[in-house]
Amino acid sequence: MDSVSQSETHIPILLTKIEYEELAARLDDLLDIVGEENHLLSPLLHFVGTLIKNYEDEHVPRLTEL
């Protein structure tokens, strides 16, 4: 298990709405830079994506099927 996965599993990180919005903007920048999984910044991209997903799971209502 790599250190990013361990951090995601064991350290809860709580974001404010402003931090979430800033991270979402940075994620777009990272996607433009990284582009592929073997890039050195790929673990950072994954970590930021996980933070955003965790925030959305907690704070963004899910669409329900009709």
Query: What confidence score (pLDDT) does residue 1 get?
Result: 42
> What is the rounded distance in angstroms from the CA atom of residue 58 to the CA atom of residue 39?
30
Domains contained in the chain, number: 1
Does residue 66 lie within any of the structural domains?
Answer: no
Domain, as residue range, for 9: 3-59
pLDDT tier, 4 (very low <50, low <70, confident <90, very high otherwise): low
Q: Is the pLDDT of residue 66 over 50?
A: no
pLDDT in tens, 6-63: 545 556 778 999 999 999 999 989 999 888 788 999 999 999 999 999 999 999 888 8
From the centroid of its chain, how far is CA 12? 13
Note whether 51 and 23 are within 8 A (CB). Answer: yes
Query: What confidence score (pLDDT) does residue 36 get?
Result: 78
Does residue 41 lie within any of the structural domains?
Answer: yes
